[in-house]
């Protein structure tokens, strides 16, 4: 079982804070705890804590909205909030991390891969199929319905 804190700042803190401080602050880095759990016993203990070394988007900062396991790594859905508060969904990236919190490889930048389909949407859900070949991402639309996108795992080698 994995629990995480996404590193989200409220808008008042973002407006007042210096971006350089946000980028270097440990508060801006998503924190995770891996817990051991046994059926009938519940949570036994925290087996590991991780602070993700998130990439720095061109503006603002990232929050981690969801994650999935892929092999021995975590794939984290990162969404940025613009430093001026005018671009709430400026960038959406998928980034792999090892269990020490370090980036593995290059991010998949959905604004480059998906273009206008991605823009203006608050992607908040991420999952991967059991065979590891397909990802599912979701967001809540303005009409209150949930929207899903299903796509090939961009981290698979051809």
Residue at 158 is within a domain? no
pLDDT tens-digit map of 29-39:
777 777 766 77
Residue at 41 is within a domain? yes
Domain containing residue 31: 2-152
Higher pLDDT, 25 or 95: 95
pLDDT tens-digit map of 42-76:
666 666 778 888 877 766 677 788 888 888 899 99
Using CA atoms of 124, 111, 51, 155 in order, give the dihedral in degrees to the nearest 10. Answer: 100
Total domains in the chain come to: 1
The sheet with strand 92-97 has its strands ordered as 61-70, 73-81, 92-97, 103-109
Q: Read off the tokens for 104.
A: 């593995």
In whole angstroms, what is the distance from residue 27 CA to residue 96 CA? 20
pTM reported for the whole predicted model = 0.77
Residue at 146 is within a domain? yes
CB atoms within 10 A of CB 91: 22
């Amino acid at each position: 079982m994995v629990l995480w804190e996404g590193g989200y700042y409220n808008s008042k803190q973002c407006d007042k804070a210096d971006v350089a401080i946000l980028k270097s602050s440990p508060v801006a880095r998503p924190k995770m705890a891996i817990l051991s759990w046994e059926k009938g016993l519940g949570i036994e203990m925290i087996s590991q804590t991780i602070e993700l070394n998130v990439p720095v988007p061109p503006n603002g900062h990232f929050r981690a909205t969801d994650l999935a396991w892929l092999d021995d790594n975590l794939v984290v859905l990162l969404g940025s909030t613009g430093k001026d508060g005018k671009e709430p969904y400026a960038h959406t990236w998928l980034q792999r991390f090892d269990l020490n919190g370090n980036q593995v490889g290059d991010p998949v930048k959905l604004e480059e891969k998906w273009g206008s389909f991605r823009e203006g949407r608050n992607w908040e859900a991420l999952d991967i199929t059991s065979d590891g070949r397909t990802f599912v991402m979701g967001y809540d639309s303005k009409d209150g319905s949930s929207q899903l996108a299903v796509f090939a795992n961009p981290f698979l080698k051809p």
